[in-house]
Amino acid sequence: MATKVLIVEDETNIAELLHLYLEKEGFETAVAGDGGKAVELFRSFHPELVLLDIMLPVMDGWSVLKKIRESDKTPVIMLTAKGETDDKVSGLEMGADDYIVKPFEMKEVLARIHAVLRRFGAEENSEEKKLSFDKLTINLDSYELLVDGKRVDTPPKELELLYHLASAPNRVFTRNQLLDEVWGFDYFGDSRTVDVHIKRLREKLEGVSDQWCLKTVWGVGYKFEVVSAG
C-alpha cells in the first residue's frame, strides 16, 4: 500500500510540484492550502507523514503542528523560507521531526522523507544509502558528507555524483554515463558540468586519505579509485 503524505502549502506552484513528484515516486498525497484545511485533512486522510509550511493562511504551521501533536505522533517535516536557527529550534522543540529550508531540491525532500519514515519504522525494509571509506562517509539518506569526522556542506548534485562513483569503486564512468545516471536523461547540460562538479569535490577531498581518490581516466571519464588493503 502506498505511503500517505499530507502536503500543507499555500503556494500553489510548490504544492503542485511536491504533489506531482511524490505521486511519481509512488506516494499517495493530499494537499491543503491553509492551516484549517490541513487539520481537517489530517483527521480524514490519516497520513503517515506531513510536509508542513510555516507561513499559512487561517492557521500557521506552528498551530497546525500543535494541533497534530495533541493527539498524534505522525512525523512532520517543516517547510519554510526562513533559515533562522530560532525557527529551527522552535519547530524541533514543538515536535517537528525535520526541517527543510526553501528553495529546496526535490531529491533532497525525497531523501529526508525516506530518512524520517525509516526512523519511524515505516520503511524498515528500505536499503540504507550510506557508504563509508577511510575518513569519508557519504550519506544519501540525510544528504550529508562527513570528511575526517566533520560535516562538509555539499550541494545535492555533488553528493549524488560522489555517491554514484563511490558505489562502484574502481569502475570507470564516462562523462555521458554520469550525466545520464546522475542528472537524468532530461538534463540538457554538457559534459563540462561533470568536470566542474568533480573539481569542486576534489577541493573538499584533497589529501584526506591515501586509501581512495577521485581519479581522472584520460580520454574516458572518472572513477572513485580505492587502493586495495592487501
Tens-digit pLDDT profile for residues 55-77: 999 999 999 999 999 888 899 99
Q: In the structure, what pLDDT confidence band is assigned to residue 105 with cuts at 50, 70 and 90?
A: confident
pLDDT confidence band for 230 (50 / 70 / 90): very low
Domains identified in the chain and CATH numbers: 4-119 (3.40.50.2300), 130-226 (1.10.10.10)
pLDDT of 143: 83
CA distance 35 to 174: 48
Look at residues 45, 53, 46, 64 and name the one whose alpha carbon lies nearest to residue 13: 53
Q: Which helix (H) or strand (E) holds 141?
A: none
Reply yes or no on whether the pLDDT at 94 is more than 70.
yes
- To the nearest 10°, report the CA torsion of 141, 142, 146, 152: 130
Q: What is the sign, positive or negative, of the torsion defined by CA atoms of 89, 90, 95, 98?
A: negative
Q: Which amino acid is at 66?
A: K
Query: What does the pLDDT read at residue 15?
Result: 96
> CB under 8 Å to 154, separation ≥6 — which residues?
143, 145, 162, 201, 204
Q: Which run of H or E residues covers position 67?
A: helix 61-71
Pair 50, 68: CB distance under 8 Å: yes
- Which residues lie across from 217 on neighbouring strands? 221
* Count of beta carbons in the 10 Å neighbourhood of residue 115: 21
pLDDT of residue 186: 47
Instruction: Kindly report the average pLDDT of the chain as a whole number.
Output: 87
- The share of the chain scoring above pLDDT 70, in percent, equals 87
Tens digit of each residue's pLDDT (9 = 90 or more) over 195-213: 999 999 999 999 999 999 9
94 within 8 A of 69, measured Cβ to Cβ: yes
- What φ, ψ does residue 105 adopt, rounded to 5°? -95, 140
| Contact by Cβ (8 Å): 200, 156 | no
pTM: 0.56
- pLDDT (tens digit, 9 = 90+) per residue, 106-138? 888 988 898 888 777 754 445 668 899 999 999
pLDDT of 84 above 70: no
Q: Which residues make beta-bridge pairs with 52?
A: 8, 78
Copy the grid coordinates of residue 55: 507561513
